[in-house]
Amino acid sequence: MDVKAVIYGFGEIGRLLAEQALRRGIEITGVVDINPSLVGKKLSEFGLESEAKISNKLEFDGDLVFLTTGSWLDSVYPQIEECVIKGFNVLSTCETLSYPEYRYPKLAKKIDEIAKQNNISVLGTGINPGFLLDTLLIVLSAPFTEIRKIKAIRSAML
């Protein structure tokens, strides 16, 4: 089955995600970003093997939206709703969408309802890099009784 996807948010994470999606044979049909310096450009202009264009609107076809625009569910909810209503499954890097009931129980219920009404899946997979590094260090240091120094570096290379 061929998967067609839209990248929604073309910052650092969106670009890395686009690169990995293309490597895995996922066709990128378009990119949505509000940055005026990006609108109208093609992914090939960023070294990616795709002629998909960047628009400031969700005007593309596809099966899936990779949503990489924010960390807080209350700010990305309108984008999720837009994607679901237009028939896209949503895979988001939004940290607070990972466990939305914790901080946003009403929005979690709304997402569940619109997803079910539209027979769509919405999945939050995001994790804050600081949290990730904190958790990783805690897990790796758990067996030790004394730790003198820890150094963690986050590197996202395009």
Q: What is the CATH number of the domain that holds 17?
A: 3.40.50.720
Judge residue 97's burial from the number of C-beta atoms within 10 Å of its C-beta, 0-12 exposed, 13-18 middle, 19 or more buried.
buried
Position 49 scores a pLDDT of 94
In a domain, 100, yes or no: yes
Contacts with 62 (C-beta within 8 Å, 6 or more apart), sequence order: 4, 5, 6, 27, 29, 30, 88
Position 130 scores a pLDDT of 58
Can you tell me whether residue 117 is helix, strand or coil?
helix
Position 158 scores a pLDDT of 44
Number of domains within the chain: 1
Q: Which residues of the chain are under the pLDDT cut of 50?
A: 158
Position 102 scores a pLDDT of 87
Number of other residues whose CB lies within 10 A of the CB of residue 1? 3
25: which DSSP letter?
Answer: T
- Residue 77 lies in domain: 4-127
Instruction: Please tell me the pTM assigned to this model.
Output: 0.81
Residues of the chain with pLDDT > 70: what percent?
Answer: 91
Number of other residues whose CB lies within 10 A of the CB of residue 111? 22
Which long-range contacts link 22-25 to residues 24+ away (Cβ below 8 Å)?
22/48, 22/49, 22/50
Q: pLDDT per residue over 85-115, tens digit each?
A: 999 999 999 888 888 888 899 999 999 999 9
In a domain, 111, yes or no: yes
Position 156 scores a pLDDT of 54
In a domain, 19, yes or no: yes
